[in-house]
Each structure stands twice: as structure tokens, then as C-alpha cells.
Structure 1
Amino acid sequence: MSQKLKVVTIGGGSSYTPELLEGFLKRYHELPVSELWLVDVEDGQEKLDIIHALCQRMVEKAGVPMKVFKTLDRRQALQGADFVTTQLRVGQLDAREKDERIPLSHGYLGQETNGAAGLFKGLRTIPVIFDIIKDVQEICPDAWVINFTNPAGMVTEAVYRHTNFKRFIGVCNIPVGMKMFITDVLKLTEKDELSIDLFGLNHMVFLRDVLVNGQSRFAELLDGVASGKLTANSVKNIFDLPFSEGLIRSLNLLPCSYLLYYFKQKEMLAIEMGEYYKGGARAQVVKKVEKQLFELYKDPDLNVKPKELELRGGAYYSDAACEVINAIYNDKQTEHYVNIPHHGHIDNIPADWAVEMTAILGRDGAKPHARITHFDEKVLGLIYTIKGFEVAASQAAISGEFNDVLLALNLSPLIHSDRDAEILARELILAHEKWLPNFASTIEKLKQ
């Protein structure tokens, strides 16, 4: 690694960027970032300007010799980069609103990383990530790409299945939230050493063991969550709707909150349909929060990350992203929870799958944790189903073929009718025409 440490953040105008910078400032003594480049697209220029100004005030307040740059020229930014972080949203929140509202208008869950909405976010995102990777391979081939762009599992799968780029790690804030939940409910202190056995796919992970100072406290945690005795103060969005005691005890695993979409489909759909009939969707809530955040960010006297940022669902992701960069840069050999190919390390799933699991990170990237060599058989069926959906989705993103989209939709357990799959495919492809250049000939046929 060079003495100069250069990080490039693509999607730099995101409301999350101040949190990422806060993470770098907090770790400056061991992760001396000398240049942070914020890259965005023309549509994001205004947000980029606001974020850049705030970041400069934050750096000034911290008194560290870090320079923050902003640009719309990605290739210029990538010159000499050591790490590239991706946190982009193709089509911005308007596209997310269509992802949510169109499936709901047909009585289907519209959620950012699974079902029809997750598929279409992937179809828009994967080609853009591939373009970024092409630039990285050409301009800064030794850089690591740390991806926080959703759907992180689908994106990681596509990168390892359809490109030859190996320095790519998918990061998510759900495991960070789970770790904070555990720290909170088990009343752990900074002195306690916490290690977690976590496995599955992105937004579909299960905890199967929790070690505190080398001793398992999983039984106590599971019992507390199942019986409802343990509740957390620190993390707002982990168990919004509690899983039933019977489910938790019969699985003998702790599922992440996103598994509500599979284990409580009926309830989740009812909640979302209720919001939809009132004219709402999650994207509109996020738009409101974003608007308030950017109003705060504009304040020339603001020079720290405002508390309000934690209202966004992705809060705390920067800790995950900064820690991953820190572990690689300083060859830390520490425990993290990331999306990576397992290369046959897990003995009961195909060797070429990308999974989300506990891993050890150092100079050479992420290696699956030695303790986890087997995925629990009880949830293997669900994992296979979702991975089939992810593989089909990454193929559709590349081909731009209508039938490939249909296959992915029909493989999703959240879609219950092949006829509806055709209706959803048609409506969503046409709604997102601007952001699906790969689908030009398909769109032409659909319009005939």
C-alpha cells in the first residue's frame, strides 16, 4: 500500500457519506486517509455539493490532514485509488418508489432487496457496478472495491459469476445491527470479546452461535429472544415484528429481521398494503428523512454527523465499511460479516456461490471463518431457493431478455402466480426504461 491512502466513494452525494467520513476520522490514527474523493452523477450534483461542503467542515473540525474532493468524473477520481466504496442508487428514490408501488398495486410485497422490487433494483444496478469494475481494472487494478449498494448479495453474486475481478467485498449493516442488539441485551462492555457465527445470504442470515470471551451464550440469547424477555434499546429496526416463539425454538437459530418477508409473508404484506392504500411507501418515508437531513447538512455551522441520520435504515453501515477497509489496510486478521464467494469452504452448498457469513479479514481480503464449514440443514431449502433467484437475476441483468426476468420472478418465493410474474415484468421494465439500457430491444418489443 502506498503512503498516500486514497479512498474513492461512488455515490458520494448520498446522505450516508457524513457517517462514512465520521468513521474515517474516528480511525485516522490507524487508517490515515489522505484523500477522500466523492463521485456522483449529474442528477446528484446539488446533493454532492452539500455533502462535500459538510465533509470539509467535519475534516476541519477534526484537524486532520485529509483532503476531500468532489467530481462527476469517475475515471479521474479512480487514479491511484487504494479503496473504492460503492453506495449508489440507480434512478434515485423515484425508482425505488416505482419498485415498491408497482408490485403493491398487484398485491405483492415491494421490498428493496427481495421479490420483484429487489429484482429490478438489481437489474438497474448490476450493469453500473460492472462499468465501475471495468474502470477499476483499467485505472487502479490493485484497489479493493467495498460495495454497500443493494441488493448486495445479488450484486456480489453477479460480480463473481460474470467478471474476473477478485478484489470485491459486499458489506451490509444488518449484521452490525445484530451485533449491537446482542451487545445491548447481553449487557456486554468494551472489555468483552464478542464473536458471532453468522451464515446465509445477504438479508437472509441466521445466527447459530454467540461467543462472549470464548464461552457460548447462544442458549441464553435464544431463550431471551424467543420468550420476549430480552429487548434491545440500541437498535430500532431489528425485530420490528417479533418472530413467534415456536419458530425461534424450532429453528434453534436467530433469523435476521429480513426473514420476516419469508416467515411472516402474510403479516408483512398486510402492513405494506395498508401503507399503500393510505398512499404511502417506504421510499416516501425515506424521501422525507432525506429532505430533512439535507436541510440540516446545508447549515454552515454544522460540522459533525447529525443524530437524525440514524433514522435511515442503513445507519451504522459506515462502521462496517470502515472496519473492512481498516482490516485490509492494516492486515488485522479480525472478524467481519461480509458477502464473498466461499470457494468450497462450506461443504453442503455449490462451491461457486457467494454467501454472507463470518469471515476473517486481512491484507489478502476475506476468508470464510474456520468454525463455519456447514450451513444448517433446516434452512438450506430457503437458502437454495433465494440463491436460485439471485443467480437468475444476475443473468437477466446481463442479457436484458424478458424471459430471463420472468424466470427470476417465478423463482422468487414472494411471487405466487406465473401470470402475475408476466404482468409485473412488463410494467416494471417499462416503468424503468430510462435505467435499463440493456433492455432496449426487449422494451421495443413490449411497446409494439
Structure 2
Amino acid sequence: MPDNMKVAVIGAGSTYTPELVSGLSAQDHRLHVDELFLMDVHAERLEIVGGVAKRMLAKAGLDIAVTLTTDRTEAVRDADAVLIQLRVGGQTARLADETFPLECGCIGQETTGPGGLAKALRTVPVVLDIADEVRRIAKPDAWIIDFTNPTGIITRALLGAGHRAVGLCNYAIGQQRWAAKLFDVDPSRVVVDPVGLNHFSWMRRILIDGEDVVPTIYAERMPELLEHVPFPEHLMRLLGAYPSYYLRYYYFHDKVLEEMRHSTPRAEDVARLEAELLELYKSPELDEKPEQLSKRGGAFYSEAAVDLLASLYDPEPSYHVVNVLNRGIIPGLADDDVIETRSLVSSAGIVPQEQAPVPPLLLGPIQHVSAYERLAVQAALSGDVDDVRRALLAHPIVGQWDTVEELLPRLLETSAPYLPQFADALAELGIESPSAT
């Protein structure tokens, strides 16, 4: 563990930040942070969120010096770890991601499909710029932990550029907590072992004290599983592994599309909840996470993120499900593809664990989406509109040329203020590119 450990959080004006602070309190026995730099470009939000963060740390009796700053360089300089949890374009851009695809007969979602691609195009260059600064002025062995969506694509970009980075999602810890509750055991005894990509995976094994309980769940606890993962039982048995929630966008595309067309976009609900949370955070009496934060999404984020950070500085290895380079773990994928997999994490590094052979029913879709993710990174970096077309064409829930051509101008126009790499292409298409605010 470094002396005088400094942790920087980029995007700390997020309403998630109190979750992170809660995690620091819970992991104080393993992770001794001396300086916490909370950075955000939105000064007013940062003051509000930073205020409740300071009160929470004071209540927990933690001697952590907290600095609020809009200066990213100040936050990153000499940091031992940098956590990235930003949203380029805010909830307004998210609302566009969830709505423009619906006009073209596609799922509107912020991390997958056309909306997920739009978010990736906005976000990859920003995160890589942050990572470049980390490489220049943070500690030489500083870790970057990315919680920014789409996590798999962002991590692929980071690792492809040679950064010391790892991607994290809260999906796995949610499954761990569900299994612990189902079998009435302490979560520390449970290790989950999914196969696939971020937001595109199947749970093949859940180990309790080293014994796989998925066969028991399928044989004896199927009603509870179907309540937890609302997919048809026949499909679950056919797959031999239960799919993540995000697979509904693929297995039930048309049904979900129809639901989305007749429901309020999630972005509108989240925007209202964020406004409510920020009002609560303003209270000088608030010194703990409010109950409303549990409705925001990102359950167990604090525990997953800070537990992972602690493990990266702990000589004793522990299991985490993280986004890392494939490097032969899943045959049929390239070594530089990024997968979400069970790994042993310690101060010695991150060691992905061997996977059993992946059957064609799962491997084919994984290869398909992984190819799309590679093209998405290429498009985000090149600023070439044809690369955007290639990524859309490769995505399983798009894949038709006429749909690609219908989606393309909507995607570029809704994200135009945040796509400086596409300035020339936007001008050629007659799309104005106002400055981002």
C-alpha cells in the first residue's frame, strides 16, 4: 500500500459519488486513502455532492483530506488511482440515445445498439484524453478504474492504447448478492463466473465455497431464478446458463421495442431522480446515503469499485469480475478483444481465470458483438462516418443497410456538440456542430 495514498474521481459530480464514499468507509480496514480528489467540470454539482461526501466521511471518523476541484490536472497529479465515472452530454444526451433509435425501428438504450454507439463515440476520446494525462503526471504505477459506460468499449480503447486500466460493472456483484441471499450465506463465500462481454454475458457458474450451485438452482430453485431473471424457462434450459438482463434486447428485440415505444424513457426518470437527490444532498444535515439513491441504478457500485481498488493494492489475491484483455481465455476471440470475466486480483496484477469451452450458441453472439465493439472504437478514434456505418452494420440489433442509413444522421445530429472528431464529416452532411456546454 502506498504511503499517502491519493485517489482521484473524475466525474465526481455524479449522484453516485456518495456510494463511492460509502465504499471507502466499508473498506477502510484494507484501503487507507489519505487524499481524495473529487473532480467535475460542473462546479455547482460538485459542491453539492462534495458536501455530502465530506459529511459522510466525517461521520465515519475517516481522516481523509477531501479536495473539490474543476481542474483535472490538479486531481490527477501524483494520484495512485483514478476512477472514471463520467457521462459526456449528461442526461440530455442519454435521452437522445434512448429515443432516436426508436424512430428507426431499433432498441433505444444507452449502452447497446445505436444509442450505445453514440455514447461510445462521445466518450472514448474524452476518456483516452484523461488516461493520457494520468500517464503523464500521475504516479508511474497508477491504476485507472473505468465505471463509465459502455464499459467494454471504453476498456477496449484504454487497453488498446496501452494504459494500466481495468473496466468494472456492477452486474456481477448484483448476482453474487442475489445468490448469497438465495442460499442464505455470507456474500464473501460466493464467487460468480460469467462468460461473455460487458452487458452481454451468461452466468454459467456460481461458486459457494468452491462448489458450483447453478445445477442446483436449475434443478431445485428454478421459480426463484425465473423471478430474478424474467426469461422463459425453456430458453434458460436451452442456453444452459442464465443470461444477463441486457440479453433481452437481443432475444426479445421486437417485444422490447414495442414496450419502449409506449413507455417513458428511462433517461427522464433518472433525470427527475437526480434532481431530487441533488436537492437532498444540499441539506447540511445529510451525512449518509439517502434511500432514494438505491433507485438510481448502479446497485453495489460502491462496494464493487472500492473492493476492486483495495484488492489492487493487497498482496492477498481475491476474485473479481472485471473487463480485461481476452488473451486466449475464450478461444475464438482475438487476444486483444475485451471480455468480462472472473479474475484473481492482487498487488501482483490481474489474472483472468480459465474458462470452460464456450458452446456455439453462446460463442457466436459473443464473437458478433465483440466485432462490433472493435469497430466502435475504430469509429470513435477515426472520425470517419463510414466507420460509424461499419459499426452499425456489424451490430446484431441493427445489421440492415437501410436502417443504418436512417440511423446515421440522427445519431450524428443528436451527439454533434460532443463529436469534435467528426467536425468535417458533420459539415459535409449539413449538420451544425455547436460547441458543447
TM-score by length of 2: 0.95
Taking the TM superposition and a 5 Å limit, the aligned residue runs for 1:34-433 are 34-41=34-41, 44-140=42-138, 141-161=140-160, 163-165=161-163, 167-189=164-186, 193-223=189-219, 227-230=222-225, 239=229, 242-275=230-263, 280-370=264-354, 372=355, 374-433=357-416
Q: Residues 74-131 of structure 1: CA distance to partner in whole angstroms, max 9, x if unpaired?
A: 1111111011000000000000011111111222111111100000000000000110
Which ranges of structure 1 fall in alignment gaps of 5 or more residues? 233-237
Give the unaligned 5+ runs of structure 2: 432-437
Matched AA of 1:155: I
Aligned-partner Cα distance in 2 for 1:220–1:84: 40
1:10 and 2:13 are equivalent in the alignment: no
Q: Which residue is 1:235 aligned to?
A: none
Q: Deviations over 1:415-440 (max 9, x none)?
A: 15312211211122122111001101
Equivalent residues of 1:15, 1:290 under 8 A apart: yes
TM-score, structure 1 length as denominator? 0.93
Change (3 A) 1:342 1:331: farther
How far the C-alpha of 1:313 sits from its partner, in A, is 1.8
CA distance in 2, matches of 1:33, 1:229: 40
User: Given the superposition, is the C-alpha separation of residues 229 and 325 from structure 1 closer, same or farther in structure 2, using an over 3 Å criterion?
Assistant: closer
AA in 2 matched with 1:150: N
What is the Cα-based RMSD across aligned positions, in Å? Answer: 1.6
3-state DSSP of counterpart to 1:34: strand
Higher mean displacement: 422-431 or 384-393: 422-431
User: For residues 309 and 207 of structure 1, do their structure 2 counterparts lie closer, same or farther at Cα, with a shift above 3 Å needed?
Assistant: same
Tell me, in whole angstroms, the C-alpha distance in 2 between the residues paired with 1:307 and 1:374.
42
Contact 1:201 1:383 in 2 (8 A): yes
Contact 2:326–2:333 at 8 Å: present in 1 too?
no
Structure 1 distance, partners of 2:158, 2:284, is: 40
CA distance in 2, matches of 1:316, 1:229: 21
TM-superposition CA deviations, 1:217-243 (whole Å, max 9, x none): 111213456x424467xxxxx63xx11
1:199 and 1:230, CA in 2 relative to 1: closer, same or farther beyond 3 A? closer
* Cα gap change, 1:223 to 1:286, in 2 (>3 Å): farther
Q: Give the secondary-structure state (helix, strand or coil) at the position aligned to 1:196.
A: strand
1:185-223 per-residue CA deviation (whole Å, 9 max, x = no partner) reads: 222235x72222211100011111122122221112134
Going from structure 1 to structure 2, the CA distance change for 1:229 and 1:160 (only over 3 Å counts) comes to: closer
Does the C-alpha gap of structure 1 residues 246 and 231 become closer, same or farther in structure 2, counting only changes over 3 Å?
A: closer
Distance 2:157 2:76 in 1: 22
